[in-house]
Structure 1
């Protein structure tokens, strides 16, 4: 279903609810890290569409309460809350999820995805790899996965020192990473100094010099206003990570079958809306054009990208093998095989 059609359905549903005073029998508290405005973040778009569809199509029997901007705590803390039933659902970054399911780190092999089309087809809970990944995650966390998508696009570097045009330019830079060993390995292999920090601390760390730079997709760089504390934006497209939408399994299993069907359908439509929102934000005046007006932007050449890959890929693969053993390598190879298959699609 297209983003425009999904949005139209959501808006129609919202209008249908206007003026009604229905008492909800069921409450779903949905948390995420990003802005609530659906035009600013993909998780904001997902949450808004999901809320509208579920409330309208349950005739008000289900209320969806939204908690954006990390209101309920750090990413990994909110996942804890979902696992224990304090909160029903959350849309999480791989950094938060890694503390509950470390194998999410297999996505962090640099330059594994050739383009966003392949990434979209692979990073999906119904893809061949997605089904394998979701089944393993659910069995180890006892969470149910409602959606799997990219975190907003390919990662780029920002920093306050100088443009990054080659591996040599990374030398000594303090780069904030998520609390992911694989991300730390990427920065170390390139000569930088990884500085793992939770999301809530990133802006201040960049502002005060605790970190010289960071890496994130363009939509996240834009809504986080990193252009206020960073001068240089270097388009490397070196990695793309997942966002994972989960719900408490006991809560979900306790719902009537018709409500389970509704939640599955609404989450599928909302996830499609989130993917489309990321592409729109990237290309709109809220994304790269806006950043380019305030920052010095450069694109790393394919020749230099190959040198980045040559330095970083072996380091990440070695870390996955060291930390996660045969299981990690098997999951990584399944991912790479799926990428190759989709690239030849």
Structure 2
């Protein structure tokens, strides 16, 4: 059924892809959910840098075509297309990847990461945990992982009803989540009503009141223009999730050794460019200052964050154990051990 769905959604993708002449020996189509502007999102920066490096270093032998803003379908559908070979590559959120690799949910233990420095060291292909995670994902999906990066920073809550200052303020709020059981369990444990929706529907859901609020990193809240439909922004830093850049394995294996080498190093450089762009957006006028000009912003203090963690951590861990068994707990414990090790290195 999954690949029947791929065939159907792939038809829509084919319309977008049709008519593009293959001027080069090899064409790599890269899809992602976010704006094309490399100064607006990390995946926009990753795709732009990858295209520039690959096309110039291959002397035009490889053409990279970019499909931003979810042009080719919903996140999980595009992963389907990459697995089926309809599209060569995609940079997907954990919500999209979860439909294909549920263990991505181990990242959703609230307050697992003490700061962005530790997160940057752990959420990468080069960390001890990253190597374990990537190998398991590749084995389960048949995909090749080109990059592993955080989704733009720590998540904050926005909503249209009230500031979220304590756990009690979550009571009854309809919070949009990705289609991740771990996120749904987290919101429910805090007293909110999880409202899972695909990314393409979030703005309208917030605008019409289908959802009261949502949670995302500041750069995503900014480029998605949620300040237009949300009044309150509460900095909780409660979770940080990955974006995972994958490529069709058969396509990669069919490249010449020289082109494989080029794709590998270009994607590594592009991933680091995306990681840096997220930090720049957070620190610039495009990030929190722009949102604060239109929204009421509050920061949840550490003592209250501890109460959020106390309420949510057991529920998420229990769900991981119940749904993913020993494999899930082993992956989670590996993540937490890596966090502890990297935190001690500072």
Q: TM-score range by the shorter chain?
A: over 0.9
- In the other structure, the counterpart of 1:5 is none
- In the other structure, the counterpart of 2:82 is 82
- In the other structure, the counterpart of 2:132 is 132
Query: Partner of 1:37: helix, strand, or coil?
Result: coil
- In the other structure, the counterpart of 2:17 is none
Q: Deviations over 1:73-112 (max 9, x none)?
A: 0000000000000000000000000000000000000000
Distance 1:337 1:230 in 2: 37
Q: Deviations over 1:325-345 (max 9, x none)?
A: 000000000000000000001
Is 1:334 matched with 2:334? yes
Q: Deviations over 1:280-308 (max 9, x none)?
A: 00111111000000000000010100000
Query: Partner of 2:220: helix, strand, or coil?
Result: helix
Q: CA deviation at 1:126?
A: 1.2
Distance 2:282 2:229 in 1: 20
Q: Deviations over 1:23-44 (max 9, x none)?
A: 3000000000000000100000
Q: Aligned-pair RMSD on alpha carbons? A: 0.9
TM-score in terms of structure 1 length: 0.94
- In the other structure, the counterpart of 2:92 is 92
After TM superposition, list the pairs within 5 Å mapping 1:29-68 onto structure 2: 29-68=29-68
Is 1:171 matched with 2:188? no
- In the other structure, the counterpart of 1:281 is 281
Query: Partner of 2:195: helix, strand, or coil?
Result: strand
Distance 1:272 1:65 in 2: 20
- In the other structure, the counterpart of 2:19 is none
Distance 1:288 1:255 in 2: 42
Query: Partner of 1:146: helix, strand, or coil?
Result: strand
- In the other structure, the counterpart of 2:117 is 117
- In the other structure, the counterpart of 1:231 is 231
- In the other structure, the counterpart of 2:195 is 195
After TM superposition, list the pairs within 5 Å mapping 1:258-297 onto structure 2: 258-297=258-297
Q: Deviations over 1:206-233 (max 9, x none)?
A: 0000000000000000000000000000
- In the other structure, the counterpart of 1:144 is 144
- In the other structure, the counterpart of 1:306 is 306
Query: Partner of 1:149: helix, strand, or coil?
Result: strand
Distance 1:86 1:295 in 2: 42
Distance 1:29 1:38 in 2: 17
Gaps of 5+ in 2: 1-21
Query: Partner of 2:130: helix, strand, or coil?
Result: helix
Distance 1:81 1:96 in 2: 12
Gaps of 5+ in 1: 1-21
Query: Partner of 1:65: helix, strand, or coil?
Result: strand
- In the other structure, the counterpart of 1:207 is 207
Distance 1:55 1:24 in 2: 9
Runs of 4+ in 1 over 4 A off after TM superposition: none
Distance 1:115 1:285 in 2: 22
Distance 1:217 1:342 in 2: 22
